[in-house]
Structure 1
Amino acid sequence: MPYYDVLCIGNAIVDIVAPCDEAFLETNGLIKGAMDLIDARRADLLYSRMSPAIEVSGGSAGNTAAGVASFGGRAAFVGKVSSDRLGEIYTHDMREQGVAFDTKPLKNEPRTARSMIFVTPDGERSMNTYLGACVELGPEDVEADKAYEAKVTYFEGYLWDATRGKEAIRRTAMLAHAAGREVSMTLSDSLCVDRYREEFLTLLRSGTVSLVFANSGEIKSLYQTVSFEEALDAFRKDCNIGVVTRSGRGSVIVCGNETVVVRATNIEELVDTTGAGDLYAAGFLYGYTSGRSLKDCGDLGSLAAGLVIQQIGARPRQNLRREAEQAGLL
């Protein structure tokens, strides 16, 4: 029997989150609502201009792993940090949250990755990420036992920004498939889709991944259309299960001819959208690996996403299993 429910692979990043106004974005040439890759010098400059900030462990797939563990699932994570202060923080946080994290850290440069996240009053986040040690993740970091023993291996599209990261994913997928396991991915970001559209489509159409997470903007970018319905129809044909989040409009799950519409969770206040998609994936994957219906999976995803957007930071502060039980979802 599989030991892990979900193996997550992604960029191990410490998020540095601070509020800002629209003028700050314009003055500093920041792209609102997107993730922009930056170098170490740019990272140091933006950090020097930030208002008082909160440092929290993040990274898309890392957030998902933490969410799965909070639901009570057995989660593992593969990602690269360095032997520095932020790397120690990241490793401690993952293990404290109950996630198996055993990737060997780098001993020297580059430094542990960090993302300067600027949150405007509307809750939208603009991420500026220095990948640092993340780009050193490679096939030698693949843990065959975890690939064999996880029901689902889940990775983030952001890994395609590093050639060796792609190699690590392909090797892990090969091992997972050999063990009869499933492989899943998130498209991560519309700009990421623009960079790797053909490669992502190949991953879907070749069956390398069978369960795919995206938001409405990402699937429209993937299929180069302004029509959500047209993009959704194409998405349905290219993957076994496609999950599309639509912010306040909830989510849509497609599987063959089946379409499941899931309502968004009611919230009291939108604080920070960082991690909404990551935590939705956590809830969905927990439900999926527990054998629940697609509707139940979507409801668990919506619950987790709705909770995380009412706080600063992308890791759940509440015990998600307890919250799901109180909501009658478990």
Structure 2
Amino acid sequence: MSSSYDVLVLGGAGVDTIVYVPELPLPYADSYKIRPGIETRAGQTGDFVALGTSSLGLRTHHIDLLGDDEAGDLVRAFHRDRGIELTEVRQPAGTKRAVNLVGPDGRRLSLYDDTRSQESDRLPEDLVRKLAAASRHAHVSITYPCAFALPLLHEAGLTVSTDLHDWDGENPYHEPFAYGSDVVFVSSTALSDPVATMRRVLERGRAEAVVATAGADGSYLLTRAGGDPLHVPAVAPRGPVVDSNGAGDAYAAGFLFGRLSGEPPERCALYGAVAGAHACTVPATASEAVDRATLLAEVAALS
């Protein structure tokens, strides 16, 4: 029986307030006058992965906790306007929020409101099982509800991916995600020894592939085939770099598109690099992902 969805995205729905600053780190001052200004828009990691996979033609469904608030309305509109199916579970604490400081070079500093996430948060098991049974693959955000959903996804026989973001390789909170996923993405930013961490994820978990992203230095791919990590150079963006927000999510979406299309891991990493480069040309206040035709054309030009 064919699946209704190619990708089930769990968690990571929320709202960001974008603040453009003259430099990062931002020196202390009593006040700053900033341009282009301050804007609040829907879109956190789960939203952007769902946007990326959907834009690439993958049938995508997103499930997360949302509040009955204005922020939740923005998230609901984000999905509705882009035709991305959304299952929401009511969150009494409200919709997750963050403030992103964005410098002139596109670098970002994120401040997350941790009061909107509780250790007791759960996604209803019957809902997860129902959606998992209708899906080919699940991408889980590193939020409390998703950790408890992992066994249900394994039980359903789904392959699973996750993004550990700026994990330091030691924080035990990330381990259920790192060792319970078939494809693991992680930023190399906080890793003292990225290769050792990648090898440990492969040795201790179920991962078939681990990707360490390194910004302008590209990414590194390690699989169960062994050997040293494969360096995948960054792809030059087709336009000016204006913001790195969402580049990692776009990379993950591109990689998953390749994987679900039957491509080998190194080809998937190239898809991810192209998608991530495109995301860097999109202002933080906008929400746009590369489409399938553009991605395939750019990959063909690089091959």
SS at match of 2:66: coil
Partner amino acid for 1:325?
Answer: L
Aligned to 2:123: 139
Partner amino acid for 1:139?
Answer: L
Matched, 1:274 2:258: no
Matched, 1:129 2:112: yes
Equivalent position to 2:76, from 91, 97, 100: 91
5+ long unaligned stretches in structure 1 = 29-45, 221-225
Where do residues 1-330 of structure 1 align in structure 2 (5 Å cutoff)? 1-22=2-23, 25-27=26-28, 52-106=37-91, 110-131=93-114, 133-135=116-118, 137-140=121-124, 142-157=127-142, 159-160=143-144, 165=145, 168-170=146-148, 172-190=149-167, 197-205=171-179, 208-218=180-190, 220=191, 226-238=192-204, 239-256=207-224, 257=226, 259-267=229-237, 268-313=239-284, 316-329=287-300
Distance 1:99 1:137, change over 3 A: farther
5+ long unaligned stretches in structure 2 = none
SS at match of 2:137: strand
SS at match of 1:117: strand
Count of aligned positions: 291
Distance 2:12 2:214 in 1: 24
SS at match of 1:104: strand
Which structure features the higher share of helix residues?
1
Q: Percent of pairs identical after alignment?
A: 22
Distance 1:297 1:63 in 2: 18
Partner amino acid for 1:8?
Answer: V
Distance 1:315 1:169 in 2: 30
Distance 1:265 1:328, change over 3 A: closer
**What CA deviation, in whole Å up to 9, does each residue of 1:225-274 have, x standing for no partner?**
x3344334434434321111111121111111164332211024221111
Contact persistence 1:271–1:309 (CA under 8 A) = yes
Contact persistence 1:287–1:296 (CA under 8 A) = yes
Residue 303 of structure 1 deviates from its aligned partner by 1.2
> What RMSD over aligned residues (CA atoms) do the two structures have, in Å?
2.9
TM value normalised by structure 2: 0.84
Partner amino acid for 1:140?
Answer: P
Residue 130 of structure 1 deviates from its aligned partner by 1.8
Residue 7 of structure 1 deviates from its aligned partner by 1.1
SS at match of 1:102: strand
Distance 1:247 1:185 in 2: 18
TM value normalised by structure 1: 0.78
